Amino acid sequence: MTVKRRSAPAALGAVVLLAALGAGATGCSGPEEASPGTAAGPGPTTTTGPVATTGPAVTTTAAGAGEAAVLTEGRHPVFIVAADAAKRTMVVDEVQFLTGTAATKAAAEDGKESPPPNDYYIRNQNPRKRTVPVAPNASITVNTLKAEETGSATKNVPLKLAELASYFPNPDHPLFWVTVRGGQAQRIEQQFLP
């Protein structure tokens, strides 16, 4: 595998803006505030590109053209394409999760309903897939994937990687937040979306 590092200007150009979904939304606190098993799920956050960090890049692979793709250290909104418990890896498609004015503007630019329903818009302009190693002690939580069992779409439920893998591929493309530290996914959190 090839390691591709972002230069400082490229990292600085990728800015993350954090914003609350809006007043009155239930189960939408930020993931750093929520603990596994609570009703609060990862809250909607606005991103305008990849997470900007100063840490090293994570070695990953890309689909197509043999070009290496990089998922940097930090927190990223992603669709999980596949997960492999035996290899402790998952393949992800990094997206942009936008709220507020940024969501309205992006949806209009893409010819979608604007302002978007529920004040969020997911934009996926890059088809590259990244394979990310999953740490042995990674914290994994889901909410809507377990809603039929728990009776609540907002309750965060901890899972093992093997159980998470059983949900993919998934045509509904649930949104997850992946926190990468030390070259591995340390936290994998399903985003509750109304």
Give pairs for 124-127: CB < 8 Å, separation 24+.
Answer: 124/79, 124/93, 124/95, 124/96, 125/96, 126/93, 126/94, 127/63, 127/64, 127/93
Structure-token match 């949806």, residue found: 107
- Rounded to an integer, the average pLDDT of 163-172 is 96
pLDDT in tens, 75-95: 999 999 999 999 999 999 999
Please report the pLDDT score of residue 71 as a whole number: 85
* Per-residue pLDDT at 161 exceeds 90: yes
| Contact present, 42 and 192 (Cβ < 8 Å) | yes
Please report the pLDDT score of residue 69 as a whole number: 63
Structure-token match 């305008």, residue found: 48
* Per-residue pLDDT at 136 exceeds 50: yes
- Rounded to an integer, the average pLDDT of 40-67 is 41
Residue 122 sits at φ, ψ, to 5 deg, of -105, 125
Please report the pLDDT score of residue 83 as a whole number: 97
- Rounded to an integer, the average pLDDT of 119-142 is 96
* Per-residue pLDDT at 32 exceeds 80: no
Assessment of whether the complete model's pTM goes beyond 0.85: no
Mean pLDDT of the chain: 75
